Amino acid sequence: MLLLVVFLQALSVTLCIETAPYTVVNNAETYEERIYPAQKWVTTSHLSISHNQASNDMFHDLFNFIDGQNDAGIKVDMTAPVTVLVQPGEGPNCENNFTMSFYVPAAHQDAPPKPLNTNVYIEERPELHVFSRRFHGFAQDVDWIFNADALAQDLLADGVEDINLQHYYTAGYDSPFVIFNRTNEVWIMKK
């Protein structure tokens, strides 16, 4: 039964949800190098100590946008991944600045509806060149940090130059309600 649930969840991720387009530039043993073309994302930021605490609040605001809290009053399909840009220690009390985004589906890329919540905005994200490391499970704050660090170590060991070690992205592929075998990634940006 448990295996069936896990299997169905894996299917829902791969088959049912539109994902942000990208091309794979290189496949290494522990990471993948990708280019995401310039696209629009819907975005909000939060200062916090904790990734997971900030994520709950930001997910709520972005979910309301796709649920109709926009100037067209329309529902927008959920997409994957949900990215969070982590900018450590940027707040006045050294909180981290977390910036969460949902990819705007292709059908709305040209003219996305405008968010009514003034904390939420449409981000024109330029082309993004990243190195991505994947891991599974229910990620706690320490898991994001552990994997970002492991990815940085692997990139440095491979002699990859011109990487941004100040900021990184986390990417989640499951709704907050999925419990088993969640798919997560950390992305380190090429400068």
Ligand X SMILES: *[C@@H]1O[C@H](CO)[C@@H](O)[C@H](O)[C@H]1NC(C)=O
Please identify, using beta-carbon distances, which residue of 56 and 153 lies nearer to ligand X. Answer: 56
Instruction: Answer for the pair 119, 44: CB distance below 8 angstroms, yes or no.
Output: yes
Residue with the CB atom nearest ligand X in the bound state: 97
Beta strand 79-80 with 82-87 is unpaired
Q: Match 């949800």 to its residue by tokens.
A: 17
DSSP bridge partners of 97: 47, 87
Please identify, using beta-carbon distances, which residue of 153 and 166 lies nearer to ligand X. Answer: 166
Please identify, using beta-carbon distances, which residue of 2 and 157 lies nearer to ligand X. Answer: 2
State which of residues 33, 150, 181, 189 lies at the interface with ligand X (CB under 6 A).
181
Please identify, using beta-carbon distances, which residue of 47 and 178 lies nearer to ligand X. Answer: 47
| CA angle, residues 115, 172, 18, in degrees to nearest 5 | 65
Enumerate residues 133-162 that contact ligand X by CB under 6 A: 136
| Burial of residue 184 (number of CB atoms within 10 Å: 0-12, 13-18, 19+) | buried
Q: Rule CB under 6 A: is residue 10 a binding residue for ligand X? A: yes
Instruction: State whether the Cα torsion 31-139-188-99 is positive or negative.
Output: positive
Q: Closest by alpha carbon to 116, among 59, 40, 61?
A: 61
Q: Rule CB under 6 A: is residue 183 a binding residue for ligand X? A: yes
Please identify, using beta-carbon distances, which residue of 93 and 110 lies nearer to ligand X. Answer: 93
Q: Closest by alpha carbon to 76, among 37, 115, 20, 120?
A: 115
At closest approach, how far in Å is the CB of 58 from ligand X?
11
At closest approach, how far in Å is the CB of 15 from ligand X?
12
State which of residues 32, 77, 90, 143 lies at the interface with ligand X (CB under 6 A).
90
State which of residues 12, 64, 97, 175 lies at the interface with ligand X (CB under 6 A).
97
At closest approach, how far in Å is the CB of 14 from ligand X?
8
Q: Rule CB under 6 A: is residue 6 a binding residue for ligand X? A: yes
Q: DSSP labels for 19-46? A: E---EEEEE-SS-EEEEEPSEEEEEEEE
The site for ligand X (CB under 6 A) is made up of 6, 10, 45, 47, 87, 90, 97, 99, 136, 181, 183
